[in-house]
Amino acid sequence: MSSAAMSDALSPSPTGPFTADLRTVRILWRREMTRFLRNRARLVMGLAAPLLFLFVLGDGIGSAGGDLGHYQAFLFPGTLLMVVQGPAVAVGTVIMWDRQSGFLRQMLVAPVRRGAVLVGICLGGATTGALYALPVLALAGPMGLPYHPRLLLVLAEAAALAFALTALGVSAAVCIRRPETFQIVSGLAMAPAMLLSGALFPVGGLPSWLGAAVLANPLSYGVDALRRTMPAPDTTTAAPAWFHAGPEWWGWTPPVVLELALVVAPSLLLLLLAARRFSRID
């Protein structure tokens, strides 16, 4: 969408500010969808690295046999989270380049609420993340997970996590001015957060300092929510104890709804703060 068309689309609505906000959200969501549909190479590249983890690492460790035979199914939720976090970084990068090109300034001077602009961008990122998750969920059967209606709940959770991660990426992009700095910060933040989320290895029985880092990491609860919602592995042997190990608070396991809230709520707070920062024209 060109800058002139965007300016016309974000012009005041005669029906009231709420309708104008909904219109803004719809237009920016459609912009993200158009970018997604026109860049098929981005979809392929976004799926390549997580699927390499799933097939190469999963098959390699799972081939050791014994309890590790369930490892590929264990790795599946973590792979799903890796897939949906890609659009979050991509949306933040787009905001950085919009600032460099001056397109962001044109959106800021439009007579619409800044929060509506950010919500539209985040909803676009969440939808893109859900679309990325679909081909991964289609591989549930080969990974030893039965095709079950619960996979629809997993898709909904993946969309919620994609929205939260997109909100984090957008919040960082609003505060950081240089695209190169954003790339470095996002890489340094996401890599340890993913490693300490329980996506690649069980969190039970870890050293105290590492276990504390896992409990403090919001992504740990997102991965555990996905894993607990997944249907049980379709194998002849029962899953080992480490397969179901997740974050615990003094022996108590938080419910899935609370785990999702622990990921989404902080991102919404950061998005609110970013909207206040976003109101300042750079």
Domain boundaries, the chain: 3-278
Residue 230 reports pLDDT greater than 80: yes
pLDDT class of 185 with cuts at 50, 70, 90: confident
135 residue type, one letter:
P
- What pLDDT, on the 0 to 100 scale, is given for residue 66? 56
Least confident of 39-48, 177-186, 252-261, 263-272: 39-48
- What pLDDT, on the 0 to 100 scale, is given for residue 253? 85
Most distant CA atoms of the chain, gap in Å? 67
- Residue 54, both tokens: 């799933």
- What pLDDT, on the 0 to 100 scale, is given for residue 156? 92
- Residue 192, both tokens: 């340890």
Residue 235 reports pLDDT greater than 70: no
Percent helix, strand, coil in the chain (nearest 5)?
75, 0, 25
pLDDT class of 16 with cuts at 50, 70, 90: low
- What pLDDT, on the 0 to 100 scale, is given for residue 258? 93
Mean pLDDT across the stretch 252-281? 84
More confident residue, 89 or 7: 89
Residue 13 reports pLDDT greater than 60: no
Least confident of 9-18, 81-90, 122-131, 184-193: 9-18
174 residue type, one letter:
V
Mean pLDDT, the chain, whole residue set? 79
> Tens digit of pLDDT for each residue in 102-154?
776 776 666 677 778 888 888 888 888 888 888 888 888 888 788 888 899 99
More confident residue, 34 or 240: 34
